A and B are shown apart, each in its own frame.
Chain A
């Protein structure tokens, strides 16, 4: 590993170089991520797919700075990623809403940490994002008074509102019903194209991956490695039921199952 290999790609928002992460659990040492090298371009929508346990959530935690790499390096622009920062907001698998705040206050939480805004601007922005996810009438509701899908939508509004440079999303739609999900696919793409965000999204739903991603990165478990990267050239906004999209998704699914069976043979 020469120092030159750490040189950041000038177009990249996030650069990962030879990232390895291990956990020492009860079941012994698990290599959750093994030698991951990847660039996420500025304004790119990157989707990570793979079976559960392939290290998707771990990778997102590392990008968020919530966890540290064992080997390799992660940079945001020119800065090494060492700790959490407002420039990289995370939307977690569970909604992680604060039960002592109502929906509006939850969305305000991140906005209040931005000193350059006035309180009125924060309120306006919070209300805008709540209405964007269709919950304008629920701003006074506490998390326990909302359905799982609504909670996840509040969480989405909460991570969008502070307008982070990078948005990291861990299976944010897996607990939602199909209708809400379709609506959010449209909203997310809308926000993505309008605001030119860099998004890294994790999912195990391949159709979702193809619908949203500019690139789809296929990971395989034990140890977590990049298997294949697909460029998705379909025009936006994409619709989840588009036949062209479906055939692309089928291609990715085939690739995934062939990688899975080959890695199982490898184990045998």
Chain B
């Protein structure tokens, strides 16, 4: 008989968490430094009930989504421009390639100087995290569109905007989507860094919650927030990017 696939992971998780719980309860470690899973769960429950967790998650998600949307909305046309115009590719394209390798936390000092401890500073960091990956992805996938598609479309009378919207973008979509996914991951990381390192006066996000946990020596809170951060990342992938990618692949038989 074959076991269902989830049995072994569940078993491993139970053993791991059980062992951890036992280890802490048997006072092999100081539970201030390493909280037991039950303590983390309790923090989770309490902060859910008093609204702290939800409001922090909301603040963070709003920043992430707005910043990502701005970054993607700017990145797509800029990437297309890089693909279309040689000298823009040689300038902006190269710049984007360089800035993409820059960890986006590096934007935090600049953002604080320019915008202060404001919402706009966090947004700026998130936008910078998103935009370069998107620019590069759009540029590359547009340049890699099969010439045959363009030739076929052009002989049918397609040109200009029609060619871009009906042929080039649809053909480049898989590459653009994976660039967006990468941009999202960069944005998420840079946002966490910004929220942890900087007190943003305009809203208390997950990063601030995590930072507060450290200051209060509440490791249950620190680990609880870390868990939420992981879950949010997983969920975004599970409910947004993965289904979109799967649909694209299936509908084109890739």
Contact B156 A113 (CB under 8 A): yes
Q: Mark B97-111, 1 if CB is under 8 A from A, else 0.
A: 000000000000000
Asked, given contacts A92-B148, A98-B149, A100-B171, whether A142 binds B251 with beta carbons under 8 Å apart, the answer is: yes
Contact A66 B252 (CB under 8 A): no
Q: Which of B149-170 contact A (CB under 8 A)?
A: 149, 151-158, 162, 166-167, 170
Tell me whether B173 is interfacial, beta carbon within 8 Å. Answer: yes
Cα–Cα, bound, A162→B156 (Å): 8
Query: Least Cβ distance of A238 to chain B in Å?
Result: 28
Question: How many residues in B have their beta carbons less than 8 Å from beta carbons of A?
Answer: 19
Complex interface: chain B residues within 8 A of A86 (CB): 155-157
Give the nearest-CB partner of A102 in chain B.
B251
Count chain B CB atoms within 10 A of each CB in A86, A88, A89, A100 and give the residue with the most: A100
Query: Least Cβ distance of B173 to chain A in Å?
Result: 7
Cα–Cα, bound, A99→B249 (Å): 10
Chain B at the A interface: SS class: helix
Give the residue of A84, A98, A142, A168 whose beta carbon is less than 8 angstroms from that of B170. Answer: A98
Complex interface: chain B residues within 8 A of A65 (CB): 155
Query: Least Cβ distance of A114 to chain B in Å?
Result: 8
Query: Least Cβ distance of B126 to chain A in Å?
Result: 30
Contact A66 B157 (CB under 8 A): no
Q: Mark B44-87, 1 if CB is under 8 A from A, else 0.
A: 00000000000000000000000000000000000000000000
Contact A85 B157 (CB under 8 A): yes
Give the residue of B154, B162, B253 whose beta carbon is less than 8 angstroms from that of A66. Answer: B154
Asked, given contacts A99-B252, A109-B166, A144-B252, whether A94 binds B148 with beta carbons under 8 Å apart, the answer is: yes
Question: How many residues in A have their beta carbons less than 8 Å from beta carbons of B?
Answer: 26
Contact B155 A145 (CB under 8 A): no
Give the residue of B152, B170, B252, B253 whose beta carbon is less than 8 angstroms from that of A96. Answer: B152
Contact A84 B166 (CB under 8 A): no
Q: Which of A37-76 contact B (CB under 8 A)?
A: 64-66
Cα–Cα, bound, A254→B167 (Å): 45
Cα–Cα, bound, A259→B252 (Å): 45
Cα–Cα, bound, A148→B14 (Å): 52
Query: Least Cβ distance of B101 to chain A in Å?
Result: 32
Tell me whether A90 is interfacial, beta carbon within 8 Å. Answer: yes
Query: Least Cβ distance of B146 to chain A in Å?
Result: 8
Contact A92 B157 (CB under 8 A): no
Query: Least Cβ distance of A85 to chain B in Å?
Result: 7
Give the nearest-CB partner of A66 in chain B.
B151
Q: Which of A87-110 contact B (CB under 8 A)?
A: 88-90, 92, 94, 96, 98-100, 109-110
Give the nearest-CB partner of B167 in chain A.
A98
Cα–Cα, bound, A85→B159 (Å): 10
Cα–Cα, bound, A86→B156 (Å): 5
Cα–Cα, bound, A143→B252 (Å): 8
Give the nearest-CB partner of A85 in chain B.
B157
Contact A113 B155 (CB under 8 A): no
Asked, given contacts A98-B149, A113-B162, A142-B252, whether A66 binds B155 with beta carbons under 8 Å apart, the answer is: yes
Cα–Cα, bound, A162→B151 (Å): 16
Query: Least Cβ distance of A86 to chain B in Å?
Result: 4
Cα–Cα, bound, A114→B157 (Å): 9
Contact A88 B253 (CB under 8 A): no
Asked, given contacts A110-B156, A142-B253, whether A96 binds B162 with beta carbons under 8 Å apart, the answer is: no
Asked, given contacts A98-B149, A99-B252, A145-B253, whether A84 binds B155 with beta carbons under 8 Å apart, the answer is: yes
Give the residue of B151, B155, B157, B171 whose beta carbon is less than 8 angstroms from that of A98. Answer: B171
Complex interface: chain B residues within 8 A of A109 (CB): 153, 156, 158, 166
Give the nearest-CB partner of A96 in chain B.
B152
**Closest CB pairs A-B (n = 4):** A144-B253, A86-B157, A110-B156, A96-B152
Q: A100-B251, A110-B157 provided; 11 other pairs, C-beta below 8 A?
A: A66-B154, A66-B155, A89-B156, A90-B155, A92-B148, A99-B252, A100-B252, A113-B157, A113-B158, A142-B252, A162-B157
